[in-house]
Amino acid sequence: MTNPSQLDEIGIGGLGASRKRVEDARFIRGRGNYVDDITLPGMLHMEILRSPVAHARIKSIDTSKAWEIPGVRLVLTGEMAAQRNLAWMPTLSYDTQAVLATDKVRFQGQEVACVVADDPYTAKDGCEAIVVEYEPLPAIVNPRQAHAPDAPIIRDDKEGQTDNTCYAWEVGDKAATDRAFEQADVVSKLSLHYPRSHPSPIENCGAVASYDPATEKLTVYMTTQAPHIIRAAVALVAELPEHMIRIVSPDIGGGFGNKVPVYPGYVCAILCSILLGTPVKWIEDKSGNLISTGFARDMYFDGELALRRDGRILGVRFHADTDQGAFFSDAQPSKFKIGLVHSAFACYDIPTGHITARGAYTNKAPGGVAYRCSFRVTEAMFFQERIIAAAAADLGMDPAEFRRINLVRDDQFPYRTPFGFLTDSGQYQKCLDIGLAAIDYEQFLREKEEAAKHGRLLGIGISTMTEPLGAGNSREYDILGIKMFDSAELRVHPTGKAILRTGAKTQGQGHETTWAQIVAHELGIPAADVVVEEGDTDTAPFGMGTYASRSTPVAGAAVAMVARKIRAKARKLAAHLLEVSEEDVEWELGRFYIRSAPDRGVSIQECAAAAYGNMPDGMEPGLENNAYYDPPNLTWPFACYIVTVEVDPESGVWDVLRVVAVDDCGVRINPMIVEGQIMGGLTEAYAMSNMQFITFDADGNCVGSNYMDYLLPTAWETPGFELHEVVTPCPHHPLGAKGVGECAAVGGPAAFVNAVLDALSDTGVRNIDMPLLPDRVWEAINSGQNVSGAPPVRS
Ligand code: MCN
Ligand code: CUN
């Protein structure tokens, strides 16, 4: 029985409301509070001296000239850091990384020394006054060279390291896979390189470290997506007591994975503040960010599909080589050295598979995992959808039909993939059908044929994928031994207003808006009455932060769970106020009422007041609680992206005609924010496939290390996106929601590349590596050969 006074959930900004983003009120007015906005009394400024060469032995460092500059307060070298046992630090992947180089430099842009001065300009002058003598060594810029027998050993600092291999990994059933290939009618092969790419957040990395010698407390304001992991890491690295460390991540101008790792700059700022006893600010510049912080991808695939003539896939196998740079510092679950690459092909019903992988140390910045990826899933799905397209072509089958035959059917869930994942829900064929209808597939094929008669090259590319979002569960997922769960704390004040804190950390995704919507949905407190705060380790409950689109699957679930705990206590308060027993009390949004007399009720706000002013005898006062949520499984959103293009055969330039996206991320908390996430991801997918080029020459010089060469798409060149929605609720999430933050960046690139290669199908070209720059496309058209984008192998 419901009451006519029932709240309108959309009206109060609850689940499903396209509520305007509350954080934007300050962001678009220039009133955000970023790290560089923070100024503390007596604060000094730090700059970093970076190596100009990729691989060299350090013969000497002379800092005397820098010390002489008026205003310079400290010049820190690796040798000085070593006295504090801080020249090296552990990485999140159980490797070590140089904080400041002592023995060798191992990539261009590596941190060699830093200078603290009264202002950043003097600090920069100080860096320029440092004289470093380098003895050059041969540089290595790709795995092929790294694994060559005579390759110089990059990590000669590591005891027992006799080559440049940093890990080797394998998963699947080799024998069964070999049998599948023996039985195949057709074997389809593809090799490709997913190039390095860079997250390029608008705000660079930075920190304001403030060690107070009087209280012995260290406060660090910094750009981090995972404040609690940083606190634990600082406690371990700097050997400081964890309760005396406070990490605050204020507003972040985008993260995109760039702000998960622990960078030497943070450690140096902290060490300088401890040495000087004053606050020290370090703000990275754009080139510093591009050349030295977490790159993504740089991964080589060689794989094949075993196919039956009728289009069924019998098995898959591939080898992946990853280029990890000089230090293996990926932030990823400890168990998986190559992230979740084995989620590849999860949306297809493939009986068996086998994957091998190997990581290489090279003379590049440490990278490999970050950038809208959920632990290398972006590479996995790209290879998957590229080889699926190639296989359809090899079979002479329509690529949409080939996918339809092999996609996991609705009645197969829960479905166990050959690599051990359990995908639990989805409507894959339905998403594909909606996408094909939206793009008017048959009609486009006719147009393409017609255009070909006039020498015009049209192409269509499809990408379908499911990806694992929301690590953990704690059985399988941990970072540095800390299990991957997340948390929420809710405090409802006497007037029924509330503050919510979580262990996640928004970087632009809109948590301040959406978490309040979950509270509104669970309690009927209007979203506008709930303030959300994240990122301060002194106040937020312990959590693993925001990456891998884990916030909604894990922290978002914790928000629902803590709200339910609050509701359970409010029910007791309601029974007391209504003078009935708890069993006689019913709930509707925002209100408890007596089952037999629905017009007699109390609002959630009245319950809140009673929690502080009129609680029953024996009840603890207050209306606050917290919840820790350990998800039973990952969430598995699905997406179908379809792109049409026209390629100009004269110049190799390609234009996007249409982009259709069908996303199923389960129940949408805020449909507008979800659409924003998808559009942002598609923009990045377009940029990666079309224009973003950063590489290395044979000497290890970073080519494209500025934003004139490494292009960020603007509204002008970004195509329009047509979005469609399917909702398959997640069976285990308390709201039925799945993650979505990375889907379009993960699944999108293959749709663009498949479209261009479809346009080129008559040339016999199987692959052009991203970015599909006009000169590469032109070369492919004119040579009929594949075009590789891999960095050069030194002769
Ligand atoms: N959401 C929703 N309904 C769903 C799923 C999500 O309303 N079913 C909402 C969420 O409440 C949240 C947003 O969509 O406001 C994204 O949620 P989710 O998919 O849980 O992802 P996270 O919040 O964990 O964000 C991380 C993800 C990652 S890993 C990268 S990288 C990335 C991305 O988000 N970085 C971003 N999107 C970004 N967007 C911005 N503006 N800035 C970044 O740095
Ligand atoms: Cu891998 S980029 Mo996001 O997971 O922060």
pLDDT at position 295 is: 87
Whether 509 is in the pocket of ligand 1, judged by its Cβ within 6 Å, is yes
372 CB near ligand 1 (under 6 Å) = yes
Alpha-carbon span 787 to 763, nearest angstrom: 13
Q: Say whether pTM exceeds 0.75.
A: yes
Catalytic residue check, 196: no
Residue 5, pLDDT score: 60
What is the phi/psi pair of residue 218, to 5°?
-105, 120
Strands (DSSP E) found in 268-398: 280-283, 295-307, 313-325, 352-361, 367-368
Does the pLDDT value for residue 3 go beyond 80? no
Max CA distance (Å), the chain = 87
Closest CA to 680 of 637, 724, 740, 736: 740
Of the listed ligands, the closest to the CA of 252 is 1
Confidence band of 1 (pLDDT split at 50, 70, 90): very low
The pLDDT of 227-232, averaged and rounded, is 96
For 646-673, what is each residue's pLDDT tens digit? 999 999 999 999 999 999 999 999 999 9
Contact assessment for residue 681 and residue 743, using Cβ atoms and an 8 Å cutoff = yes
First CA to last CA distance, the chain = 80
Q: Residue 402 has which token pair?
A: 């080939």
The answer to whether residue 25 scores a pLDDT higher than 90 is yes
User: Looking at the predicted structure, is the pLDDT value of residue 103 above 70?
Assistant: yes
Query: What is the DSSP secondary-structure string of 53-103?
Result: SSSEEEEEEE-HHHHHSTTEEEEEEHHHHHHTT-SEEE-TTS-EEESS-SS
- Segment 109-136 shows an average pLDDT of 98
Mean pLDDT of the chain: 96
Average pLDDT estimate for 143-149: 95
Q: Is 361 in the pocket of ligand 1 (CB under 6 A)?
A: no
HSE-CB for 562 with a 13 A CA cutoff:
30
Report CA torsion sign: 416, 417, 422, 424: negative
CA distance 538 to 545: 15
Amino acid residing at 203: E
Give every CB contact of residue 102 below 8 A, 6+ residues apart in sequence: 58, 78, 79, 82, 87
Interior/surface letters 448-484, b for 16+ CB within 10 angstroms, e for the rest: beeeeeeeebbbbbbbbbbbbbbbbbeebbbbeeebb
Instruction: Please state the atom number of ligand 2 nearest to the C-alpha of residue 550.
Output: 4
pLDDT tens profile 351-367: 999 999 999 999 999 98
Whole-number percent of the chain with pLDDT over 70: 99
Beta carbons within 8 Å of 700's beta carbon, 6+ residues apart: 53, 54, 55, 107, 108, 139, 140, 141, 363, 364
Query: What integer pLDDT is reported at residue 239 of this predicted model?
Result: 85
Q: What is the pLDDT of residues 41-80, one digit of tens each?
A: 999 999 999 999 999 999 999 999 999 999 999 999 999 9
Band (368; pLDDT cuts 50, 70, 90): low
- HSE, CB side, 13 Å, CA atoms: give it for residue 236: 16
Q: With a cut of 50, say whether residue 119 has pLDDT above it.
A: yes
Determine which one of 231, 372, 550, 776 is catalytic: 372
Length of the chain in residues, anyone?
795
Confidence of residue 331 (pLDDT cuts 50, 70, 90): confident
User: Annotated catalytic, 161?
Assistant: no
* Most informative mutation of 293, 340, 742, 746 for ligand 2 (most atoms within 8 A of CB): 742
d(C-alpha 43, C-alpha 207), whole Å:
12
CB atoms closer than 10 angstroms to residue 632: 12
> 14, 71, 322, 306: which is closest to 193 by C-alpha?
322
| Active-site position among 114, 127, 373, 640 | 373
Closest atom of ligand 2 relative to the 548 alpha carbon: 4
| Residue 4 reports pLDDT greater than 70 | no
Q: Counting beta carbons within 10 angstroms of the beta carbon of residue 300, is it exposed (0 to 12), middle (13 to 18) or buried (19 or more)?
A: buried
Q: Is 373 a catalytic residue?
A: yes
Q: Once rounded to an integer, what is the mean pLDDT over residues 566-584?
A: 98
Across residues 365-371, what is the average pLDDT? 83
Q: Mean pLDDT throughout 784-791?
A: 95
